[in-house]
Amino acid sequence: MATQSSHSQQLMRSERRMFSASDDSAMMKQIQSTHLPDGRFLDVKPILQVIDNVLRHLTPTIDHHALNGGQGHMDAIDDSSATMDSNGMLEALAFLVHKISCEISCKCSGGGDAHATTMVLLNTLSSYSWDAKVVLTLAAFAVNFGECWLVLQLCTTNSLAKSVALLKQLPDILEYSHTLKPQFDALHKLIKAMMEVTKCIVEFTELPSQYISSDVPPMSIAVAHIPTAAYWTIRSVVACAAQITSLVGTRYEFVTSTSEAWELSSLAHKVCNIHEHLQKILQLCHQHIDEKKQTESYEGLKHSFGTPQLDNSKILLKIFSLSKEDPHSLLGPEKTKVHVEVLRRKHVLLLISDLDITHEEIQVLESLYKYDRVTSEVNYEIVWLPIVDRSAWNDSYQQKFLSLQSMMPWYTVNHPSIIEPAVVKYTREVWNFVKKPIGVTLDPLGKMTCPNALNMLWIWGNTAFPFTTDREASLWKAEAWTVELLVDGLEPNLSNWVRQEKVICLYGGEEMEWIESFTSATKNVAQFLGIGLEMVYVGKSNAKERVKKITGLINERQLSHAWQDANVWFFWKRLESMLFSKTQHGKTNEIDVIKQEVMTLLGYDGSEQGWAVFFSGTDMVRAKGDKVLNAIQSFEQWEDMARVSGFVSAIRGHLEGIADEHHCTRLILPGISGGIAETVVCAECGRTMEMYFMYRCCVE
Whether residues 263 and 350 fall in one domain: no
The residue segments making up the domain with residue 591 are 483-689
Asked whether residue 24 is domain-assigned, the answer is: no
Q: Is residue 348 helix, strand or coil?
A: strand
What is the tens place of the pLDDT at every residue in 485-532? 999 889 999 999 999 999 999 999 999 999 999 999 999 999 999 999
If one compares 215 and 70, the residue with the highest pLDDT of the two is 215
Answer whether the bond into residue 466 is a cis peptide, omega within 30°.
yes
What's the mean pLDDT when you consider all of the chain? Answer: 84
What was the pLDDT predicted at 662? 55
Domain CATH number, residue 420: 3.40.30.10
Asked whether residue 85 is domain-assigned, the answer is: no
What was the pLDDT predicted at 627? 92
Q: Distance between CA 461 and CA 325 in Å, rounded?
A: 37
Q: Is residue 331 helix, strand or coil?
A: strand
Q: Is residue 351 helix, strand or coil?
A: strand
The alpha carbon torsion through 280, 281, 285, 291 (nearest 10 deg) reads: 50
Residue 255 has pLDDT above 50, yes or no: no
Phi/psi of residue 642, nearest 5 degrees: -65, -35
Q: What percent of the chain lies above the pLDDT cut of 90?
A: 56
* Contacts of residue 315, Cβ cutoff 8 Å, sequence gap at least 6: 304, 305, 309, 442, 446
* Percent of the chain that is helix, strand, coil (3-state, to 5): 60, 10, 30
What was the pLDDT predicted at 253? 47
Whether residues 658 and 538 fall in one domain: yes
Whether residues 229 and 327 fall in one domain: no
Whether residues 38 and 176 fall in one domain: yes
Whether residues 261 and 203 fall in one domain: yes
Q: Which residue, of 244, 261, 291, is where some domain finishes? A: 291
Asked whether residue 605 is domain-assigned, the answer is: yes
* Count of structural domains within the chain: 3
What was the pLDDT predicted at 105? 83
- DSSP code string of 581-647: HHHHTT--TTT-HHHHHHHHHHHHHTSSS-EEEEEETTEEEEEEHHHHHHHHHTGGGTHHHHHHH-H
Whether residues 447 and 513 fall in one domain: no
Asked whether residue 68 is domain-assigned, the answer is: no
What was the pLDDT predicted at 104? 87
Nearest CA to 103 among 304, 291, 283, 241? 241
What was the pLDDT predicted at 136? 95
Asked whether residue 60 is domain-assigned, the answer is: no
Whether residues 244 and 327 fall in one domain: no
Whether residues 334 and 275 fall in one domain: no
Whether residues 96 and 238 fall in one domain: yes
Whether residues 614 and 497 fall in one domain: yes
Answer whether the bond into residue 218 is a cis peptide, omega within 30°.
yes
Region class of 535: left (phi > 0), else alpha (psi between -120 and 50), else beta: beta
Q: Which residue, of 477, 494, 523, is where some domain finishes? A: 477
Asked whether residue 579 is domain-assigned, the answer is: yes
Asked whether residue 22 is domain-assigned, the answer is: no
Nearest CA to 572 among 517, 508, 633? 508
What was the pLDDT predicted at 87? 58
Asked whether residue 699 is domain-assigned, the answer is: no
- DSSP code string of 77-89: ---HHHHHHHHHH
Whether residues 394 and 252 fall in one domain: no
Q: Which residue, of 438, 460, 477, is where some domain finishes? A: 477
Whether residues 443 and 462 fall in one domain: yes
Over the Cα atoms of the chain, what is R_g?
Answer: 39
